[in-house]
Every structure is written in structure tokens, then in C-alpha cells.
Amino acid sequence: MKIEKRWIVSFLLIAAVSILGLFWPEAENDAATLSKFISEDHIIGADVAWLLTSSSLVLLMTPGLSFFYGGMVGKKNVISTMLQSFICLGLVTIIWVVVGFSLAFGDPLGFTIDGQFYSVIGNPFTYPFLDHVGKLPHHQLASTVPFMLFALFQMKFAIITPAIITGSFAERVRFISYLFFISLFVIFIYTPLCHSVWYPTGVIGSYFGVKDFAGGTVVHMSAGFAALAGVLVLGKRRNSEHIPTNIPFVLLGTGMLWFGWFGFNAGSALGATGDAAMAFATTTIASAAAMLTWIFFDRLNGRKVSALGACVGAVVGLVAITPAAGYVSISQSIFFGFITSIVSNSLLNWKVMKRFDDTLDVFACHGVGGIMGMILTAIFAKGENASLLHGGWSVFSHHMIALVIVSAFTFFGALLLYKVVNLFIPLRVNEEAEKIGLDLSQHDEKFH
């Protein structure tokens, strides 16, 4: 059997990382490193317990997403679609450990404006192989839990973000090309965006004042615009009409996502606090409102109430409330779910969008949900100079400028990465492979 060079290269890369990690010297904690941390006496047991639980919940979301997507595609592509989400648990974990966490939360690299320093990315040599990341809390990033726990919690966000993208080009992407793309995506798009929004000196969070409680901008907007770029690069499927294979899979996946989202949003309080309780509440209430709005809006437009529609609506509500989960009231969270569900549903069913073959409507759900979440957060978020209602038009305009910058960065950045990967390995499978389905052509497996 002839083995393609691309697979040999892939194997050699993981082998090199494994061996490098084995012999990587454990760095000593010098004075500069120790100054970042505080003693274990500051650790709060309840915060540790909640963040351990939240990390587990967020991890569960990726298998949940695989069921959510897998049930929606045609029967010949169920396994391949599910695997594209599931494989992120392995690939992104290794990237995060080796260099991703350093790029996202390492020593800040950036520029100075009017004497104030703003950063855009972390130094990749700050925490390689999670060096210096251990039991001590970090005084800036997570002061009541071990820094290792913070790193692992954030890793789960990095895992699910590229997994979300997969729904847009399902049924036609080459698996090895996809692996290379998501590797580049995590390194060159996710980590700088994560740092810019969530690091204390990050330019989007500190200069523009953008509020993103749990990842509406970092996760959902980045995934949504990368999905749109993928649709444009890969083009339409040969047969874009299909009947979802397994609606019970979609229901199961939605339940797992909803359950895991409590860790996603409430866990982002980084402790067992009142903010966590409020985020927990707004998360489920916004999703409930969006689910009901979706099915009623479908019926008003002459479409039957469907289990698929209820599931998509619930997820759209979860996406919308994510950036604002800890910043808004219960009544406002209902509005978040209601209005975002209408906007997303309308775009999904807009004739113009039918020209693009976004297989599982990732942009209409996650991209638009993230955009709406960011806009609504910029209007309603509580706190000094946090939003239009609590800071005025200047604060709101800063959010909108940041929205345009993030949209452009993620869309054109992803477009470039697709083009780069396609130069070396074709992104799209050939016509015959697409015809027989990716389950057989890519993995020699079959869904029964």
C-alpha cells in the first residue's frame, strides 16, 4: 500500500512533538516568573470545584456538537462529520499545550498608544509545554484557582471553536487538509483573538472596551466567519439536497450542548460566585426563549414545527447570550434569545443565502448569533462604561468598530489559511469520493 507523503509528514510532526516534550527541560522559576503568581493560600476550594466541573462540562460540548452535526448530514457522511468535531479533542489539545496557551495568555506583545500598552498576542516562549503552569494561582488571570486549571478550562474553548466550523463544509472536505487548516486556525486566528479580548492588556478588551463574558466574539464570531470563508473556498456540493439522517442524534447533541453550556458561560466567572449563578440563569433562559421563538416564527412563515428547528433555535439562543451572560438581567436575556432567533431564522431562510452551500448553516447560527450577541451586549451590558445604556454612544461605537475589525480579521485570515493549505493539499475531495460519501472514501467506515 502506497502511503501519501502528507500522512508521513503528519506522523513525523506528532512524533517530533512527543520526543521534544520528553526531553524538554523543566525551567526554573526565576524572580520574574514567580512575580506573576501568588501563594496557594489564596486558592478557594469552591472555585476550584466549580471550575473543574465547568471544564468537564465544556469538554462534553464537543462530543455534543458531533452528535448535533452528525444527525443533520446525509447517511454517507455521518461518521466523517462527527469525527471532524471529535478529532479536535486530540489535535487542539496538543497544540494548546505546546504553544497555544502561550500565544493566548503568555507575556503580552503589542504596542503603546498615548503611554498605554496594548497587546495583540502572547509570547510563544512563556509557557511552552505548559512550563511554569502549575498549582499556584496567577494574580492577574485567575487568582483563586491553580493556574493549571485555568489553562485547561481555556483549552476546552480552543477545542470547540474549530469544531464549530466543520458544519459549513461538511460532506466535501478532505480530512488531512482539514487537520492542517484547524492547526493553523488555532495558532494564527484563535489565539491572537483570545489574547486581544481576554488578556488584561488585550487591545480589543482594554482599548475598545469590548465585553465578552464567555466567548461570543472569541469563539462564535471567529468560527462563523471562518465557516463563511470555507464555504466560498470549497464551493457547493455536487448534491446539496439531503434529508437529515438522524434527528434523535440532533436532539441528543442539543441536550449535551445545552448542558455543557452551563460550564461554558457560568464557568467563565472563574469561581463559585454570584456572577456564575446569574450567567447560569441567563444562559438557559435565553435558550428557552430562542427555541420557542424559532418554532413559532417558522409556523408564522408557513413552515411546520420541527424538532430540528427547535434544536437550532435553542443553540442560537445559547450563542447569543454567551458574550453577555454575566452582564445582563433575566428579562434582558429573554429578549436576547427572542430577537436573535428571529434574525438568525430570517437569514437562514433568505433566498440569497441559498446561493451559498453552508451545509449546516454555521454562519447563520453561530456567526449571526455571535454578531447579535456582541451588538446586544454593547447595548445592555451593566457596568461603568460597558454599553450604550451604561456609557453612551462613544462606548457603543467602540464596540461596533471592534466588531468590524474582528469580522474582517477572522474572515480574511481564514480565507488566507484555506488558500495556503489548498496550495499544498487539495481541500476538497474528488467527485468520486464525494459521491460515495466521506465515511467510506476518507475513513473506510459506514454508518448503519
Q: Which helix (H) or strand (E) holds 97?
A: none
In eight-state DSSP terms, residue 304 is P
Q: Is the pLDDT assigned to residue 134 strictly greater than 70?
A: yes
3-state secondary structure of 36: coil
Distance CA 94, CA 78 (A): 26
* pLDDT at residue 2, as a whole number: 60
pLDDT tier, 28 (very low <50, low <70, confident <90, very high otherwise) = low
**Averaged over 350-378, what is the pLDDT?**
89
Looking up cell 484557582 gives: 145
Count of C-beta atoms within a 10 Å radius of residue 293: 22
CB 82 within 8 A of CB 176: no
* pLDDT at residue 149, as a whole number: 97
**Averaged over 365-382, what is the pLDDT?**
95
Tell me which of 104 and 31 has the higher pLDDT: 104
In eight-state DSSP terms, residue 120 is E
Q: Is 74 left (phi over 0), alpha (psi -120 to 50) or beta?
A: beta
Judged on CB neighbours under 10 Å (0-12, 13-18, 19+), 32 is exposed
Please report, rounded to a whole number, the percentage of residues in the chain having pLDDT higher than 70.
Answer: 99
CB 224 within 8 A of CB 163: no
**Averaged over 360-381, what is the pLDDT?**
94
**Averaged over 302-317, what is the pLDDT?**
96
pLDDT tier, 27 (very low <50, low <70, confident <90, very high otherwise) = low
Q: Is 73 left (phi over 0), alpha (psi -120 to 50) or beta?
A: beta
* pLDDT at residue 352, as a whole number: 74
270-286 pLDDT per residue, tens: 999 999 999 999 999 99
Q: Is the pLDDT assigned to residue 25 strictly greater than 80?
A: no
Q: Which helix (H) or strand (E) holds 215?
A: none
Please report, rounded to a whole number, the percentage of residues in the chain having pLDDT higher than 90.
Answer: 83
Burial pattern 192-213, b for ≥16 Cβ within 10 A else e, equals bbbbbbbbebbbbbbbbbbbbb
Q: Mean pLDDT score of the chain, rounded to an integer?
A: 93
CB 448 within 8 A of CB 78: no
Nearest residue to 246 via CA among 86, 68, 441, 80: 68
**Averaged over 179-197, what is the pLDDT?**
97
**Averaged over 226-250, what is the pLDDT?**
90
Q: Is the pLDDT assigned to residue 201 strictly greater than 90?
A: yes
**Averaged over 251-260, what is the pLDDT?**
97
What is the DSSP secondary-structure string of 362-392? HIIIIIHHHHHHHHHHHHH--STT-BTTTB-
